[in-house]
């Protein structure tokens, strides 16, 4: 089972909304994460990769949120 933090879940939800908006190709979404969450590019890239690996239109109930 995959675990994520509550912050990562917040980013995942943001990325789902961004995807639905059509504002960007999701491969370019790292810059949006950097701007929205004020994190560095490397961390944004890591989160985007994690989101892509776990993408689910129905939510993230299959993930365990830890903190």
Q: Output the DSSP codes for 15-52.
A: HHHHHHHTSS-GGGTHHHHHHHHT--HHHHHHHHHHHH
Instruction: Return the pLDDT at 56.
Output: 74
- Is residue 55 very low, low, confident or very high in pLDDT (cuts 50, 70, 90)? confident
This prediction's pTM: 0.88
Nearest of 42, 45, 37 to residue 14 by alpha carbon: 37
Mean pLDDT of 34-48: 98
Q: Facing residues of 10 across strands?
A: none
Instruction: Return the pLDDT at 45.
Output: 98
Q: Alpha-carbon distance 35 to 64, whole Å? A: 26
pLDDT tens for 17-34 read 999 999 999 999 999 999
């Amino acid at each position: 089972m995959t675990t994520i933090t509550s912050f990562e879940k917040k980013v995942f939800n943001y990325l789902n909304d961004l995807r639905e908006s059509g504002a960007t190709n999701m491969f370019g979404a790292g810059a949006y994460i950097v701007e929205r969450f004020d994190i560095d590019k490397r961390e944004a890239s890591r989160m985007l990769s994690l989101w892509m690996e776990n993408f689910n239109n129905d939510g993230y109930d299959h993930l365990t949120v830890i903190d």
